[in-house]
Amino acid sequence: MGILLGVVVRGLAFFWLMCAAIVSLACDELPAGQSLWIRLTDPISTYTAKVGDPVHAVLIQDLVCGHEVLVPMGTSVEGVVHSTHKVGWGIRHETAALELEFNQLDLDDNSTVRMSARVEEVENSREQVKNGVIHGVMSTDTFQGRINSRLIHLPTWNPYSDMGLIVYKATFPIFPEPEIYYPSGTDMRLKMRTVMSSLPAPVRTIPETDPLDVSLAYSWVQQLPQRTTTLKSASADLVNLVFLGSKERVQSAFREAGWHNSDPHSRHSFIKNFYALLNNSGYQQQPMITLLMDGKPEDMNWQKSLNSYARRDHLRIWEWVPEGATEPVWLSSSTHDTGAYLSVKSKGFVHHISPDIDHERETVIRDLNFCGCVKSVAYVPRPGVSTITQNANGDLVRTDGSIAVVQLQDCNPVVPGLAAGSSSANFKPGNHVFRYLRREILIFRSDIWRANIVWGAYDLGRMAVAAMRHPPLPPMGDEAKPTMTIVPTTNPAGVN
């Protein structure tokens, strides 16, 4: 019996060593295609950038393998400008372009890790990224510009003979800045082009969590309301976040992360909204429509944007007291806006959202964690929550059904003083005369190429094809729910 027991023990020990070796080998490198989130520490612009100029940023999310943190957030990320061209006078280029190559991680022990990564996404940017190249907006491709180019050929064959359109252009001389400009604090998602090898030894291990906390969280999360409603009682957003902590801690966390409250609905905010729509620019404090939870309007709302009116992270927060609890918790529904339009039916501005609300849930947690405001995060499944549904505007909504319970603490930023989500609306290179002449040149180019019946027919056909390609809404139903996990954050800030 003793011999058999010894064999079993030695076998288990060998199996454990093999598993440990496999995990160790697996953590020696990161595969191509791995995503990294970074934040610029210095501004960059096509107006001044030259090929070979350095680009500085920091990681805003730990690189983790299993339960080991390989590269912590706050690590410096270095890159260069790979290619760029600016609009200038608008004679050669209508749009700007910028390609960045990130090639190095600078670790705290003065060692470096070589990498090859390029930009896949600029968070809340109006610019599009294709094959690693950031493409600037066309200054004439705006709300009023599209109306102009699509209607200008209807009254006459000569685009400059219609007095009404000439008056319209003079009345609304609003054009977005065509040069690309990103201030410090701009978030980008990178994608590894090659394998990242020669990684350092793990800097720390993510600790286990007390199972008692798990069971307590599960018990009261099941009491939560699942959805918000509109003022007309239509089902709206799903509740996907819970914050634990005082009201002051919640407010401090979002302020530290660079989020803003919304302006109240008024004539002044409507004008600012309308200007941002025409100018295709950001409005950091866009008004939000009121949503209800159990018939009660939100107690707070927060949002974060960059240079796009259509794209923003935003959420609403309600105070809620679980049954039998003595302290309130803060329930939230977070979504990411991806498009905007002026709705006659709604008598105001309406946004479309990204269907994958779990991504927005992670964005909120990543932002607060980088600012050192998060103690731990619990992912709790909710039986009965539909994983595919729609919001009040008919937008598709997908989720794993879990709710994230975020325990807050006093903030201790990983990189003190680094701004987050600042607006670039004030970026206006050159003087007034230069910008006026460039605008006229760009308008002339746009009218020559697009203000004719041939382009109008093509544009109408393109829009019709795009509309027919919209996929139908998948059938409603529940997918497999993940088991609950609680993940303590890896921020070295102390527990409060």
Total residue length of the chain:
496
Token pair of 124, please? Answer: 């809340």
What is the rounded CA–CA span in Å between residue 429 and residue 212? Answer: 58
The residue ranges of the chain whose pLDDT is under 50 are: 1-25, 152-161, 212, 472-496
The model's pTM: 0.81
Amino acid letter for position 36: L
Backbone phi, psi, residue 54, to 5°: -75, 150
Do 349 and 340 meet the contact criterion of CB atoms below 8 Å apart?
yes
Domains of the chain: 27-139+179-205 (2.40.128.260), 207-416+481-488 (no CATH)
Residue bearing tokens 């992360």: 257
Positive/negative CA dihedral, 101, 128, 371, 485: negative
Cβ burial 202-223 (10 Å sphere, 16+ → b, else e): bbeebeeeeeeeeeebeebbee
Beta-sheet strands, E only, within 74-154: 76-85, 97-106, 112-122, 128-130, 133-135
Token pair of 402, please? Answer: 């879990």
SS3 (DSSP) at 252: helix
pLDDT at 442: 85
pLDDT at 167: 63
C-alpha pair distances (Å), 260 with each of 13, 213, 285: 54, 32, 6
Token pair of 327, please? Answer: 């302290």
pLDDT at 140: 77
Positive/negative CA dihedral, 195, 200, 201, 205: negative
Q: Nearest to residue 135, comparing CAs of 105, 106, 99? A: 99
What is the rounded CA–CA span in Å between residue 366 and residue 336? Answer: 14
Amino acid letter for position 108: D
Q: Which residues contact 107 (CB under 8 A, 6 or more apart)?
A: 71, 75, 113, 200
CA atoms within 13 A on the CB side of 154: 8
Q: Nearest to residue 42, comparing CAs of 58, 26, 27? A: 58
pLDDT at 1: 39
Token pair of 355, please? Answer: 């269907």
At 440-465, the pLDDT tens digits run 888 778 777 766 666 667 666 776 67
Do 483 and 371 meet the contact criterion of CB atoms below 8 Å apart?
no
SS3 (DSSP) at 216: helix
pLDDT at 495: 30
Q: 463 burial class (0-12, 13-18, 19+ CB within 10 angstroms)?
A: exposed
At 286-296, the pLDDT tens digits run 889 899 999 99
Q: Which residues contact 416 (CB under 8 A, 6 or more apart)?
A: none
pLDDT at 469: 61
Residue bearing tokens 């879990």: 402
pLDDT at 207: 66
pLDDT at 131: 93
